[in-house]
Structure 1
């Protein structure tokens, strides 16, 4: 159920209507070791176990065996100067169990090719720094001379 307000439909003035539910799911990496068929989600506080199961089955066609939820309390922090306490929002965590034959592997967001590219970029940056130091050394005895004026 959505709590958002939509403009009133008028017969002569058709409007595009989009249903925007308040439910959302976010896949997160588990802090603790889990079996390969258990996936952890952060979800909307209003969602129930049945909502989560239906959401995954109907929208994403994911076979779900069981859903367990818990509410993780938000961290509290005391201001050092004023002394007041602030608290971050609570989050609901859902542990979704898939069938035994299905194994979920968290996607690799940083493959090896990007690591090689990063190393190449570091090498080129170091080379550019060395060239710049050479340039500065060459012109250090002539302060105030523009860079384009060299002998």
Structure 2
């Protein structure tokens, strides 16, 4: 099933058409504890477990042992004023099992060194703010005087 509009056939050789897959996969941090060789993905609703397996094997060369899929229902919410019910979209989750000798650890996107760097940057910013406030306090009794003209 295709939702893309492919370019129309044109005479001549070679054909300048690129066929892209209609599917997408997004790596998701699991809500519950998983074995080290299980990886969780959110995928498009049209994908089957066979599509997920072929996608990972053919495009990313990942050996896949098993794929399980489930549809996670989107949350429903009742409007407090009008009383009508709204529902967010459902998502399909794919649980991919890798061989026993392979493990997957979710990457640490915010390591400790980045936090230390952020704290150091915050201290530097605070120091700059204090110096600027000191500069403004020094010249507050001389309004209209340009910044380059100071004592």
Name the TM-score class by shorter chain.
0.7 to 0.9
**3-state SS of paired residue (2:18):** coil
Alignment of 1:1-151 (within 5 A): 1-12=1-12, 16-151=16-151
State the TM-score, normalized to the length of structure 2.
Answer: 0.87
Query: What do you get for the CA RMSD once the two structures are aligned?
Result: 2.0
Contact 2:76 2:87 in 1 (8 A): yes
Counterpart-to-counterpart distance in 1, 2:4 and 2:20: 8
Contact 1:72 1:91 in 2 (8 A): yes
- 1:114 to 1:53, Cα distance in 2 relative to 1, 3 A: same
Aligned length: 151
What do residues 58-108 of structure 1 show as CA deviations (whole Å, max 9, x unaligned)? 221111111111111112233444443322111000111111111101122
What are structure 2's unaligned runs of at least 5 residues? Answer: none
Contact 1:2 1:20 in 2 (8 A): no
What are structure 1's unaligned runs of at least 5 residues? Answer: none
Structure 1 residue 2, shift from structure 2 partner: 2.4
Counterpart-to-counterpart distance in 2, 1:122 and 1:20: 45
Counterpart-to-counterpart distance in 2, 1:139 and 1:83: 59
